[in-house]
Structure 1
Amino acid sequence: MKNRKKDVLRKVFGYDSFRTGQEEIVDNILLGRDVCGIMPTGAGKSICYQLPALLLPGITIVVSPLISLMIDQVKALNEAGVHAAYINSALTENQITKALYNAMCGRYKIVYVAPERLETNRFLEFVLNADISMITIDEAHCISQWGQDFRPSYLKIVNLIKMLPKRPVVSAFTATATQAVKDDIVCVLGLNNPFIKVTGFDRSNLYFEVRQPNNKDAEVLNYVLSHRDDSGIIYCATRKNVDKVYAMLAKNGIAVTRYHAGLDNDMRKANQEDFIYDEKPVIVATNAFGMGIDKSNVRYVLHYNMPQCIENYYQEAGRAGRDGEPAECILLFSPQDVIINEFLIENKGENNEFTEEERKAVHDNDIRRLKKMRYYCSTKECLREYMLNYFGEYSGKDDCGNCSNCSAVFEEKDVTNTASVIIKTIKECHERFGTSVITGTIRGENKAKLRSYGVDRYSTFGMCRQMSESFIKGVIDKMLLDGYLRETDDMYRILKLTETSDMLISGEEHLIMKWSERKEEFKKEKRTPKSLDADGLMLFERLRMLRIDIARNENVPPYIVFSDKALTDMCIKRPHTKAEMLNVNGVGENKYERYGKEFLKCIKEHENQEDTHG
């Protein structure tokens, strides 16, 4: 069996060796054991069930909710010389009849089926009379009410397994699952003593960043123009935004296409192929795009809007760098994104499969996941670690070295006093308001809305008027993350106190928050290269070229070395010593040790040339 397994891997799939976790899963399936595989996007889940399916004596049924994925995988299998078929709404009744007949006659080893088809009379007649060796559940998180895409139709799988005259091997796979979802998969499917393999969620080649630009369109355009040779995906929350961003990029000469459910099937298919074959290497899309798309050279995934949950974000971002090469995943966040997602959650189309209880459970879970996603956009801790922790994985590292937070220079601030003012304000308003009202109150904002609430009479009104709105909201986010506050799970997100809130007022505990110079508490004069004189601009260009060389050698984006703001500050301050360089905006000890001496040398060479020519 071992030699046959290797032969199939090499001859059918074209691989000389298994990836992490694949061989263990295959071996357990071939031993007749149920399995549950949690493997990130790009880890090769399909091999785990396709390969043993070819070695088991009977037919493997693969339950999948994604028509595009079924079609792509069946096409790929057929091109590899493996006979496979799919049963879903894309086929006519006559085509379904023919496919099931051919499967019964032994023509197909693998049959993909949509969950909605499992209890149709025709399909039941087929499975009750065929030799079914394995039932595989793809996107298995759909069976859990705790998952991001719960589908009641997936519960039909359990009924199907119970109806079969001989219980087959049951294998379940998903890319993103929290501990609760993993437990649900094993329990609800009734897996017998399963072999559970979690290969790890970390994709070390992916760089993660959250930006909060004033102009998202300009940010996207500048990014795409600076990555003209790269293929990328730009995700938007709505069709309207897809069309807007697509038109903006096309107008500026970008080879771009688009994808959303508002386009007809032929156009979606044509646009998808333009992207896959690099005719148009950039695609703007809603989250309807990407499932089952195995494009290995996507170098970046931009999110124009914040997704609804970490599961969706990690899955969509994971479409970058599937070849293992460095890629960037950048999320452009604005508070409006939260409002858009709340609207989408509240106005989800009615699903007749749901009971009222299930509908409420799904809604509440959606709101909780949205909250976790919003915290991702505000945390100053390692972005990679935040996501891994969400999925129950802990690396123990404080610095991944490959996300914007770990690459930035943060100052730690004791914000206990500010937190105390926030808590007192929440108490004074009897826990009736959300972040915006609390922030406006302690900043003493002169707004009609605030006056109508009577907050201008509070004892804390205006106590933090010297602080920026973003700083105060940062403190509130930190308090939420650390459990000193909580939010209601409805769309109003009312701030509530917790059992630990008073510990900050009493001084029993202190709240320490990381804060970067680019979002500092007090406003300072903004300096850009435009504010430099001619000599300063020349030096800036030399420093920029040095930054590019270092970035290439380090295999990191240039702005991870030093930001434009840091380079501008170097041009203004002209540091000559370590102490002077550490006084430059954005240069910390670690950055200095890694890059500082080369930049000091560059500045000195520039000034020596200036003296020579002078």
Structure 2
Amino acid sequence: MNLEKSLKENFGFSSFRKGQQEIITQVLERKNTLGILPTGAGKSICYQLPAVLENGLTLVVSPLIALMKDQVDGLQEQGISATFINSSLDYQEIEWRKEEILRGEVKLLFLAPERFSLGEFNEFLQQLPISLVAIDEAHCISSWGHDFRPSYLDFAKILLAWESVPTILALTATATKEVASDICRTLGIEEKNIIQTGFERKNLSFEVVKGKDKRSFVKEYLQLNKEESGIIYAGTRKEVDELEHFLSQSGFLATKYHAGLSEVERNRNQEAFINDECHVMVATNAFGMGINKSNVRFVLHYQVPGNIESYYQEAGRAGRDGLESTAILLYSLQDFRLRSFFIEQSEVSEDRKTLEYEKLRAMQSYGNTQGCLQRFILQYFGDDATDCGKCSNCLDDRESVDITIDTQKVLSNIKRMGERFGKTLVAKVLIGSKDQNVLKFRFEQLQTYGILKNLTQKQAVELIDFLVSEGYIAIQKGQMPILLVSELGVRVLKGEEKVFRKMTVVKKTVVTQDEELAGLFEVLRSKRLELAREQGVAPFLIFSDASLHDMANLLPETDEQFLEVKGVGQNKLEKYGTIFMEEIKKFSEKAKGITES
């Protein structure tokens, strides 16, 4: 069988993406299979092509009604018979579709996992010549997964109890080794039949932004990317409503999506975004699953997600077309406090809460690491790679400062406190706080009390977070994050390892000593500020100080000369070249007149 020929004839693709052909081959050989492919890697082809090639019916278990409709619409557009049965249909419509299925007129049937628990419908399914059951978002089966759904586990038990169990294909974009093993164990998949292509998305650039006003940052970012499509994920419906209103009032083509909107409004807004009638979708995490918009150039997380799995899955909705795209996390400690509150208030078991706290701490470590961001994510999933060279950490040109002594002070303090407390109390002891809990345990008597009194409590906590993210401090598993000195930390205490941290070093800026050039720089800086105020953007977005200094040194008079200035490309030339060269000309003529007189 020529699979590539079938792929081209049925779907218009001339070649398979990585992992697709291997998965399809195993499915056609009747091997239960787990496929782990990153978001945007074409998981749906892995069951759509076998469905076309096989004589029987393919069941697709899918979590969202909107996702089912999108997939069915897409298949029908390609001339492939597909339908769905879910709660959006009335009784008569469901009966009509069941008759259509019994007549053999349907190749793919999309169902929610809950439908299997309906006894009559379960009996109906067992009458059908089902060749394949494809389970989308298969991580939902695992109790170790970030989005565990009991309905998925119930469905799996019902399916495996059938007298004749079809071939099973489980698909997910986000599964740690533990989750993958759990999926295989639950569905009877041999681990040798896992096809994993790796989690790396080479076209994504990751960035963590700290210490900036979120609204101001988003506004400036969108100003620079006005014509690009992007998704902004916010944590609550209220935040979505307020941010979308702010952006719309600021002149951006923005819309919104969350469960509090009517179905009509959600669908209308989703269509507007997909059809490029608006450029920005502000949404809760209810938006995005199964959305095949390929030209999403950026994903911004306005609040920190609860775990790495959710973050990577949502970030992966950028750049599905393989072109360079960006994923930005706006990091805030307040977000972690809110996430912790949500976990504490949730009605789940204590074991589940413990797991959610551990996943949240991994997310916090991601925000504090100074290593490659993509590599951090890959290592979380048990994968590895070299540094990506383009995330905000890889491009961080701040100097690495030796902080070994301060690290030893922190680690020594943790040891002296008996490795029984969390970072807040540890930080308070380090800075010499007279907090009642410090005095209650008589920690003011420790040799390490006040040993970092030059820091604020916030700075001490940030240092601890950094040391956790880099592995010098471990956290005891459980709801209460107790700090422990890791094996790596012990080596630091013994003087066997040094610790470096990238920090902004305050230096005296050395500018040209020529007063005339310094005067021109100030003229150019004033013009830059004037333009920035007119356009409502930060001055550095127009030109950096380095560019202005270069202009003052080069004194460009022509377009070709202006292009030689650092940071000037064709776009900057067209927008600002004439304006700044006119300023240079006026200044030079004025200076020349003074000299001649």
Q: 1:543·1:567 contact (CA, 8 Å) conserved in 2? A: no
Helix, strand or coil for the counterpart of 2:45? helix
Equivalence for 2:501: 514
Residues 208 and 366 of structure 1: CA distance in aligned 2, closer, same or farther (over 3 Å):
same
Helix, strand or coil for the counterpart of 1:405? coil
Q: Match of 2:545, as an amino acid?
A: T
Q: CA deviation at 1:569?
A: 6.1
Residues of 1 paired with 2:160 and 2:424: CA distance?
Answer: 53
Helix, strand or coil for the counterpart of 1:342? helix
Helix, strand or coil for the counterpart of 2:211? coil
Does residue 462 of structure 1 match 2:446? Answer: no
Does residue 183 of structure 1 match 2:170? Answer: no
Q: CA deviation at 1:501?
A: 4.5
Equivalence for 1:547: none
Equivalence for 1:151: 149
Mapping 1:399-478, distance limit 5 Å: 399-431=387-419, 433-444=421-432, 458-467=446-455, 472-478=460-466
TM score, norm. by length of structure 2: 0.84
The one-character-per-residue Cα deviations of 1:401-452 (angstroms, maximum 9, x if unpaired) are 2201111114333322212222333344444543233334323457788677
TM score, norm. by length of structure 1: 0.82
Residues of 2 paired with 1:19 and 1:538: CA distance?
Answer: 55
Q: CA deviation at 1:186?
A: 1.6
Q: 1:34·1:194 contact (CA, 8 Å) conserved in 2? A: no
Q: 2:114·2:155 contact (CA, 8 Å) conserved in 1? A: no
Q: Match of 1:380, as an amino acid?
A: Q
Helix, strand or coil for the counterpart of 1:130? coil
The one-character-per-residue Cα deviations of 1:103-126 (angstroms, maximum 9, x if unpaired) are 122111111111111121222222
Residues of 2 paired with 1:11 and 1:598: CA distance?
Answer: 52
Does residue 372 of structure 1 match 2:362? Answer: yes
Q: 1:410·1:514 contact (CA, 8 Å) conserved in 2? A: no
Q: CA deviation at 1:466?
A: 2.9
The one-character-per-residue Cα deviations of 1:208-252 (angstroms, maximum 9, x if unpaired) are 100013311111111112211111111011112112211211111
Equivalence for 2:573: none
Does residue 568 of structure 1 match 2:545? Answer: yes
Q: 1:38·1:199 contact (CA, 8 Å) conserved in 2? A: yes
Q: 2:543·2:567 contact (CA, 8 Å) conserved in 1? A: no
Residues of 2 paired with 1:217 and 1:45: CA distance?
Answer: 35
Residues of 2 paired with 1:323 and 1:11: CA distance?
Answer: 21
Residues of 2 paired with 1:160 and 1:601: CA distance?
Answer: 64
Helix, strand or coil for the counterpart of 1:406? coil
Helix, strand or coil for the counterpart of 1:233? strand
Helix, strand or coil for the counterpart of 2:39? coil
Residues of 1 paired with 2:78 and 2:406: CA distance?
Answer: 63
1:33 to 27, 31, 34: 31
Q: Which runs of 5+ in 2 are unaligned?
A: 512-516, 530-537, 554-563, 570-579, 592-597
Does residue 102 of structure 1 match 2:100? Answer: yes
Q: 2:156·2:186 contact (CA, 8 Å) conserved in 1? A: yes
Q: 2:528·2:543 contact (CA, 8 Å) conserved in 1? A: no
Equivalence for 2:309: 311
Q: 2:354·2:479 contact (CA, 8 Å) conserved in 1? A: no
Q: CA deviation at 1:95?
A: 2.6
Q: Match of 1:170, as an amino acid?
A: I
Using the TM superposition, name which of 370-379 and 110-119 deviates more: 110-119
The one-character-per-residue Cα deviations of 1:177-199 (angstroms, maximum 9, x if unpaired) are 11111122222110257632212
Helix, strand or coil for the counterpart of 2:134? strand
Using the TM superposition, name which of 413-422 and 129-138 deviates more: 413-422
Using the TM superposition, name which of 40-49 and 496-505 deviates more: 496-505
Q: 1:158·1:189 contact (CA, 8 Å) conserved in 2? A: yes
Mapping 1:486-525, distance limit 5 Å: 486-489=474-477, 492-498=480-486, 501-507=489-495, 509-517=496-504
1:66 to 49, 64, 67: 64
1:253 to 247, 251, 254: 251
Helix, strand or coil for the counterpart of 2:117? coil
State the number of aligned residues. Answer: 556
Residues of 1 paired with 2:488 and 2:225: CA distance?
Answer: 47
Q: Match of 1:78, as an amino acid?
A: Q
Q: 2:547·2:567 contact (CA, 8 Å) conserved in 1? A: no
Residues of 2 paired with 1:489 and 1:523: CA distance?
Answer: 42
Residues of 1 paired with 2:213 and 2:60: CA distance?
Answer: 45
Does residue 57 of structure 1 match 2:55? Answer: yes
Helix, strand or coil for the counterpart of 2:382? coil
Q: 2:229·2:295 contact (CA, 8 Å) conserved in 1? A: yes
Residues 196 and 96 of structure 1: CA distance in aligned 2, closer, same or farther (over 3 Å):
same
Q: CA deviation at 1:370?
A: 0.8
Residues of 2 paired with 1:62 and 1:409: CA distance?
Answer: 48
Does residue 383 of structure 1 match 2:370? Answer: no
Residues of 2 paired with 1:482 and 1:294: CA distance?
Answer: 36
Q: Match of 1:466, as an amino acid?
A: N
Q: 2:228·2:279 contact (CA, 8 Å) conserved in 1? A: yes
Q: CA deviation at 1:56?
A: 0.8
Q: CA deviation at 1:575?
A: 11
